[in-house]
Chains A and B, each alone.
Chain A
Amino acid sequence: MNEKILKVKEAIRKTEKVSVKKLNELTVALVGSPNSGKTTIFNNITGLRQHVGNYPGVTVEHKIGEREYKDFKFRVIDLPGIYNLTAYSEEEVITRNFIINEKPDVVINVVDASSLERNLYLTTQLIELGVNLIIVFNMSDLLERKGVEINEGLLSQLLGAPIVKTVGNKNIGTVKLLEKTIEAFTDTQIKKKVNINYGEEIENEIARITNLLKKKEKVLLKYDIRWISLKFLEKDTIILKELKTFLGKTFYEKAVKLLSKSVNHIKSIVRDEPETIIAEARYGFINGALKESMLVKKGSEFSLSDKIDRVLLNRFFGLPIFALIMWLVFQIVFKIGDYPTRWLGIGFNRLTELLINIMPEGLLKSLFIDGIISGVGGVFVFTPKIILLFSCIALIEDSGYMARAAFIMDRIMHKIGLHGKSFVPMLIGFGCTIPAYMCGRTLENRNDRMITMHINTFMSCGGRLPIYILFAGTFFAKNAGNVIFSIYLIGILIAVLFARVLRATRYKGESEPFVMELPVYRAPTVKGIFIHTWERTWQYLKKAGTVILAISIIVWILFTFPRIGEASTRDYNSQIQSVEQSYADGVISEELHKSKISEIKAEMASEKLEFSAAGRIGHFIEPVFKPLGFDWRLAIASISGIAGKEVVVSTLGTVFSLSGTEKESEELRAAMRNQYNPLTGFNFMLFSLLYFPCIASLAVFQREAGTKEMFFQAGFTLGFAWTVSLIVFQIGRLFI
């Protein structure tokens, strides 16, 4: 590339910088492979001053953090962990586009120093991009342990970028990294770019393509011409698309013609695809550089890790150990987590009591108690479980076991068209679907993630269990346990079925090939786990505070308005008064007094519900539920189930004019037995299993996967639940 163009580019860069921000502010992008310790370095630089953002339209998250050092203000972006800079995965494209479009002032490439040869592969691609690069040799303490000596100066010269050694989990080298970053930022000299030689055949073709593209250099200004020629030669899909728009049709076609000629020429000589030859050359470049600058005194750091793997991946022990670990996680989250959840529940009850006492009677009071506290509180009380769950997940991820779990489950999950890692979110789905959706993030491939999230609905969450207990207990007294188990099993089978259907239709092909790095086992750091957990918990709480608050208010309005007339309210009140009067006069016993009062109150609640919008909707949509064998009561219960499946049981209590405390649940059962047959009972359980778990889960789904996917999830689960229940009822009816 000639000097003139470089100068123009530099000038553009400078004017942009001056106009957008002050001179001592700099943007730094962190790039590295998933196990390089990139996030640890990010945490070391920014501490807790970070927040998570999503790229518009995609689910991959990125983290932005800030740091002030000396007179400089660093804006640090933690880009997704990648191995490559092709157009093959979403993460790679995001990283590449960020570097090309946002032009970070400095790019920090974090590499695992204990496996330089493989890790520097990404580095070579960053060098090709022509960025202002700093290479971080993380976990450099392992180098010494391995007996490896590196001539840093020489290697940095060969790679054309400064090298900084760090030990991320001990926070060593962070300050030095900041110093180097400032140095790279303030150094106005145009650095000489290191070019990797790809061998005669490729170089000839690159030269040919470069010559052609140079004619359009002005429109391609944001790219390095050699880099774009190389990507063109690799048939990079995104670059092809961009070139098509930038170059204009005729020029583009000319270029493509040249390309296919080049590719054929290369194939005829070396009988390999260009991407393979290019990759070989990159490894050749790395090997050459390392050979000159690195001295290895033979030793192996794998012995311990391999020994652990021999047990944890064992054909016979691997699966039981994994099952045991999952069982432990489940126990910790849902058993131990139950205590703080209960305490929070008690806290909210106290708050409710306090409000009952201090707030004046009226709508506002009802809004706070029945709407906001029961809605938002119902989500907040799960916080301890969320914290415990994500601590466990962070522990499993950071220690290196997650990759092993995927390895063990791959054989089974592969059969249903999923990735080994999908197992963990599905298991968590039996507890609560919300953290299960969030756990889907551990899957790197978007298709895998979407399928795992969509089928997670069919894992019976804890909120559905009260419904099963009520209905199975009511209609299948002796076989209740077996019936509940069969519902769980049906859910799993449908999940498996749907995984295959979704893979074959909506998320075709592109199943993540199972190629995964098994990182060396490491002791996780408290700080890393804390930051991981905190970040996810905070997102959950934010959701509870905003969307779920709004939804709770809407649900409350539906169940409260329009209100029953004053006359009937007065009627109930006078009834209550007369009972109170007779109790005060000693005409009736205390027990009778209590039961009469609750009877009147329950009747009032029932009338209120029928009169409310929700009740009317229940009546209105009864025709929709009729073919399934559900009457308006079950329709209302299903609607209330949108707020949370636990609510279904209490709503049924209300519609049957009972206040749903433990004592009266036998009465509710009797009332239901009068109204429905076992077929309807089973069918309702099935219906509750199949439609989306709750509105809060949909809100989380939206956050994790986008609005479109959320509506798809809501639509297909509702449609599917309706269809299955219809078939079961219509066929079952023939036999009863």
Chain B
Amino acid sequence: MGDVKLENVTKRYEDVTAVDNMNIQIHDGEFVCLVGPSGCGKSTTMEMVAGLTMPTEGTVHIAGREVTNLPPKDRGVAMVFQNIALFPHMDVYDNISFGLRLRNFEKDEIDRRVDKAAEVVQLEGMLDRMPDEMSGGQRQRVAIARAIVRQPDVFLMDEPLANLDAKLRVHMRTELQRLHKDLETTVIYVTHDQAEAMTMSDRIAIIDGGQLQQIDPPLECYNQPANLFVAGFIGSPSMNFVEGEVTENGFTSEYMDVEFDPSNYGVSAGDKVTLGVRPEDIYPAESGRSISSPTGEIRTKTDVIEPMGDEIFIYLLLSEEVETDLEDPAASNQLLISVPPDSDVEEDQDMSVVLDRNKIHLFDTESGQAIEHSLVASPAASGASGTSGAESDD
């Protein structure tokens, strides 16, 4: 009933294409996050679902009917905005009941629904307050109550937690999940915070440059990113990338090699590829941690160390001639790893690390598309996993 389908939707503003041929199908009751960097087109996509922006091309379907040219009021959607957008001249009751009053609901029915909505978002006893007498969290609850009171087919939420402080944001995140569980209504949620997307959604749609990069469950996006952008965007800190090329024996780059049989992965010698590995999938060799399929040791030098409390981030230099680039942790000449908080590490100390072959991703450098998400299959020469050697060449 609350399913949403975007078919070949494009939005152009004069010479800028904000959304480029977007195809998304969202199922009834699903919680889908649209994530991406600022200006990627995620909010425009949501506005086209809401009817606040008309697509240049393509069609929008909600609950099985085409709504491409319908005004927002006739689409059966409710929206929560980033700046909350409560009507400042109305009290909480009037704000929540606004949509119902417009539709000429009976007074009793309005009261019943407003009370129910206020109860759901825990706003009982505050119905006669004005928005400027409320805290940020309370206002956000009013905005949510205003959305749920109409019992829409689809909730649209455009970065609704972005203006709240960190603690309240985490709290409201949980509340929204609880609400979704209770209401079982389709939610489309726009955010640029990938942690929000990971924790809340059934599926994440990652958008960049107006194009859909991947739409999958959070862990699938994390473990099997469709391309370099998704791999870099999902996960904090970001995935490490090392550019190199395929040889007869596997992967080689200026700083490190990883052996594998190219024929097992549909690549051949000479192909330009990028190797990606997440910080938590790199281990200090001396940690003694048993990994089923480790690569050979890679000699590095520790640079900046960032203790986070529950873990420590270490920037490792693959070559002595370069410096750590904190702006771009994914730079090819460095690795960012995360180690347990009790690890004994110091700056400028030599450290050998191994990568977990199960968790190594291979991307086509030119197209950015993922080729493989695990290099655990047998290396070409030895045929035995865990014995391949990866050497730093510093």
Tell me whether A and B are bound partners.
no
Residues of chain B touching chain A, judged by Cβ–Cβ distance below 8 Å, are none
Residues of chain A touching chain B, judged by Cβ–Cβ distance below 8 Å, are none
